[in-house]
Structure 1
C-alpha cells in the first residue's frame, strides 16, 4: 500500500514561495490562541501523510513541543504573544525512534510502502534517503530487489543530505552508488567497473566505514531551535536553507574511510576509499518501476562476513535521539540570556 503523496514547496529566484497551506505562523485555536500541537495524532508510520518535501534549497523538519524548553510556562500563560509566530526554541525536531525511509526527504514521484520499508520507482532516476545518517563508525544495511522489470535499474548505496533527489545516486559529489546494470560503481557521474550485475531476487549489503577520528563537530547534529517555524496541514516544521556551495567548498577526503558492497552475502570488494567526510544516509535511487525493500537491521538475511566491527543502521535511532537532545541543550544553555530577554519582551 502506497502512502499518499503530500504537497511540495517551490522556490523562485532564491526566495521561498510556500505551497498552499504552508504559512509562517502557528496554528490558531478558536479564541485566537495558538493551538497545542501535542494533541495532533501522527499516522502509524510516524509521519504526516501530507507534508512539505525538501526541495529547491529548503529543508523541512517536523517539530514537536519541547516540554523542557525554558520559560514555556510564561509563554503558555501570556496573552501578549497571541497571533505571533511561535519561537522555534519552544519546539524541538521530532527525532524518529526507528530507522525508515524518509517520506519528506525523497523525490515526490517515488511510491513509499505503508511500513516505509519498500519503495517503487517511476520513469526517470530519482531517489529517497533514510531518516537517519551516520558520520563515524562502521554501519551496515541491506536491500532486496523485489521487482525489476526489463529496462528498469537501480543505484543503491550511501548519500549525503545534499545529493540531488531528482538524479541517480552517484550523480554528484555527495553520493556513492552501485548500479544494477553491469555492477558499475558511480561517484560524481563517473562509472567504474566493479562487479557482476545484480537483479530481481538478489539481496545487497552496504557497509560504510568512517574512522572514529572524524571531526567531533560532525558528530553533533544541528539544532533547529534558531530556525523559523512554518505550518503545513496543521503541523509545524522548521525551515532550513541548504548551502550546497559552501558544502562543496568544504569537501575533504577522510583517510581510512571505505565502502564495501555485498551480493547475497558475498563481499564484492572495496568499492570506494577515502570518501568525503560528512554524514551519510542509506540511499535508494530507482529508474522506472523497480521495487526495492530495505532492511536496517538488527537481523539481516546475510550478515556481512568481515572483521570490521560494524553496527546495524537500526541502532542509529536511539543514538540520534541522544545526539539531538545534547545539541538542543547546548543551544538553550548558550542562549539562555537572549531567550529570557525575548520572552519578557513579547
Structure 2
C-alpha cells in the first residue's frame, strides 16, 4: 500500500473539448414539468429550455432566484391544500391552537325533499335460524344490506335534513330504528348476521367483531350477554365440542373489527375457552381451572372509569395524584370550576343508496401502542410501562378504572385494572389522507387531537364460525350483580343507578348503571352539540351559509373553518362502497 505521506506524481491535465462540440449544461428547475396538471404541478405548464448567458450572483439563468416550494406531503401536514396553497403568506393561514379549534364547515346545496325523510336502518334478508340453548325458541338471523360499513379511517353516523340548522349545512344527527342500545349494524365487520333488534349476532366466518352503538366515557356501567351457540354444556357421543366460539369485552374506536376482542391494545376481552382474559393477544388464566363459558351461560361485564375532568388532566399531563385523586374520591373540584368537554366534530353529509350519513375521520392506531403490543429491540417510548404520568399520552392509564366479570350473577373477579386512557391526545385522528380519497381528505392537518364525542369504551362481541351471542344492555337483566339481586329478592324492581355517571357527590360508589341509559345520554349530547355548532357559526357571522360580508367564496381566516377549494355550493357526494 502506498505511503500517503510520499509525494504524488503530477496529474496530467484534462484535454479541452473541441469548440465544435456542445458541452452539457445544467437544466433550470421545472424543465421537466408535465404539461398536464397534477398534485405536484397544479399549474400544468410545460417549459421550453433555452440557453441563456451566465446569470449574475443571486439569480438563476438570468431570472430571479425562486423561492423553494414545499412538497405536497409537507403542505398537507400543515393542513394546507389547493393549487395556490404553497404560495399563500403565513399571515393568511393562522395556525390553530387546540383551544381555538372550530368544526370545519362546507358550503353545500340546499337538501333535497327526500333528505327530510326519517332515517332508515338496513335491509334485512333472512339467512338462517338457530335454536335457543334450551330449545324454547328459534332465533332468525338476517344478512344486512343497503347500509354503509365503517371502512378504515372513516366513521359513519345517520343524519337528516333540518331547516333549523341552515348555517351547519342543513343537517343534524339522527337515529334509525331500532331505537335504543344495540349492536351497531354499521360498526361491525362484514359477514356478521343480526336479528332485527340488533341484540343477537353470529357469523359463519373467522373471528370478527361488532361494537355497540353506545360508548362509555366515565362512571360505572353494566351489561350482559347470553351464549346462544358456543361450547356445549352437555355432550352426547358423537357431538362436537362446540358450535363455535365467542369473546366478550370492551373496545375503543381504534380496535380492528376484523379481529377478536382483546386482539390489540385497544380492547379487553374474555375467551369462552377456559375463561381466559386476553389483551394484546396475550391470553392469561382468569376463571378457575377447567371452567369454560358454555351455551346458556350469562356473562355480565362491568366497567368503571374516572370522571372526564380527571381523565383530561391525565392526558394533558397535569395529573397530580396527591391532589387530583383525593378530589376525585371526595367528588369535588379543587379549583371550584366545572370543566366541560370541548367537542369538535369535523363531518360532512354523504349520500349512500338513498340514505344520508355523516362521514367523519376516524381514530387510528398509534405507534406507541403498536410498540407496546410488539416490542422491538430498539429503544422506544414503550420501554417504560404504562402509568398515569407516562411521557407519552397513549401510554397513560386511568387510576381506579377496572373491568369486572360475572358468570350467572356470581362475581368471577377483576381481570383488568388501570385501563389505558382514550381521550385525545391519547387517541389520534387519521389525517393527511390522499387528496380526493374522500370528502374530508387532506383537511385535517394539525387537527388529529380532536375529541369528536365518539371516543370511549364500547361494549363489543366477537364470534367465530357459528358462535352466537344475545346481548342485554338493560335495564332489566337476567342475572344482575349481587348488590342488585338483593333488591330483587326484597320485591323491588332491579333499577340501575341514574344520574351523574355512577358517582355520588360524597365520593361513594353508586350501583352500576345500565348501558341502555347511555343511549339516552348520547341523544341529548348530539342535540346539544348540534345546537352549539349552529350557534357558533351564527356568532361568527356565518348565518345562511355565507361568509362574512356575504362573500360565499371567502376563505375564513382566523375562524378555524375551511371551505372546499373552488368556491360555490356543491351537491352532496354519492358514496360508492362494496357490500
Structure 2 length-normalised TM: 0.48
Pairing partner for 1:263 from 407, 413, 430: 407
- Give the alignment of 1:270-285 within 5 angstroms: 270-278=414-422, 279-285=456-462
Q: Does 1:211 align with 2:414?
A: no
- Name the counterpart of 2:227: 145
**Partners of 1:145 and 1:201 within 8 A in 2:** yes
Cα–Cα, structure 1 residues 151 and 98, in superposed 2: closer, same or farther, change >3 Å?
closer
Bigger Rg over Cα: 2
Deviation at 1:216, TM superposition (A): 6.1
- Give the alignment of 1:1-346 within 5 angstroms: 34-40=112-118, 42-43=120-121, 49-70=145-166, 89-95=169-175, 97-148=179-230, 150=242, 152-195=244-287, 196-212=291-307, 213-215=309-311, 220=341, 222=343, 224=345, 226-245=346-365, 250-251=393-394, 252-278=396-422, 279-306=456-483, 309-336=511-538, 337=540, 339-340=542-543, 342-343=545-546, 344=550, 345=552
Query: Which moved further from structure 2: 291-300 or 92-101?
Result: 92-101
Distance 2:173 2:197 in 1: 22
Cα–Cα, structure 1 residues 98 and 220, in superposed 2: closer, same or farther, change >3 Å?
farther
Q: Higher strand fraction: Structure 1 or Structure 2?
A: 1
Cα–Cα, structure 1 residues 50 and 34, in superposed 2: closer, same or farther, change >3 Å?
same
- Name the counterpart of 1:82: none
**Partners of 1:298 and 1:314 within 8 A in 2:** yes
| DSSP 3-state at the match of 1:319 | helix
CA offset digits 1:35-75 (Å, max 9, x no partner)? 342225625999x951110112211111112343145xxxx
Distance 1:158 1:318 in 2: 20
Cα–Cα, structure 1 residues 221 and 91, in superposed 2: closer, same or farther, change >3 Å?
farther
Cα–Cα, structure 1 residues 215 and 65, in superposed 2: closer, same or farther, change >3 Å?
farther
Cα–Cα, structure 1 residues 113 and 259, in superposed 2: closer, same or farther, change >3 Å?
same
Deviation at 1:221, TM superposition (A): 8.5
Which consecutive residues of structure 1, in runs of 5 or more, have no partner in the other structure?
1-23, 72-87
CA offset digits 1:172-212 (Å, max 9, x no partner)? 11101010001110111111111131110101100001122
Cα–Cα, structure 1 residues 26 and 116, in superposed 2: closer, same or farther, change >3 Å?
farther
Distance 2:119 2:253 in 1: 28
| DSSP 3-state at the match of 1:329 | helix
**Partners of 1:60 and 1:237 within 8 A in 2:** yes
Deviation at 1:215, TM superposition (A): 3.4
Distance 2:228 2:341 in 1: 36
Which consecutive residues of structure 2, in runs of 5 or more, have no partner in the other structure?
1-105, 125-143, 232-241, 316-339, 370-391, 423-455, 484-508, 553-568, 570-579
Distance 2:107 2:190 in 1: 25
- Name the counterpart of 2:32: none
Distance 1:238 1:27 in 2: 16
Structure 1 length-normalised TM: 0.78
Query: Which moved further from structure 2: 237-246 or 184-193?
Result: 237-246
Distance 2:193 2:356 in 1: 24
Distance 1:330 1:215 in 2: 23
Distance 1:205 1:58 in 2: 31
**Length, aligned pairs only:** 301
| DSSP 3-state at the match of 1:181 | coil
**Partners of 1:168 and 1:285 within 8 A in 2:** yes
**Partners of 2:255 and 2:264 within 8 A in 1:** yes
Taking CA–CA contacts closer than 8 Å with sequence separation of 6 or more, which of the two structures ends up with the larger relative contact order?
Answer: 1
Cα–Cα, structure 1 residues 168 and 108, in superposed 2: closer, same or farther, change >3 Å?
same
Distance 2:460 2:406 in 1: 15
| DSSP 3-state at the match of 2:535 | helix
Distance 1:311 1:61 in 2: 25
Q: How large is the RMSD of aligned CA atoms in angstroms?
A: 3.0
**Partners of 1:43 and 1:49 within 8 A in 2:** no
| DSSP 3-state at the match of 2:228 | strand
**Partners of 1:25 and 1:229 within 8 A in 2:** no
Deviation at 1:139, TM superposition (A): 0.5
Cα–Cα, structure 1 residues 210 and 108, in superposed 2: closer, same or farther, change >3 Å?
same
Deviation at 1:25, TM superposition (A): 11
Distance 1:204 1:243 in 2: 29
Distance 1:293 1:133 in 2: 19
Deviation at 1:121, TM superposition (A): 2.0
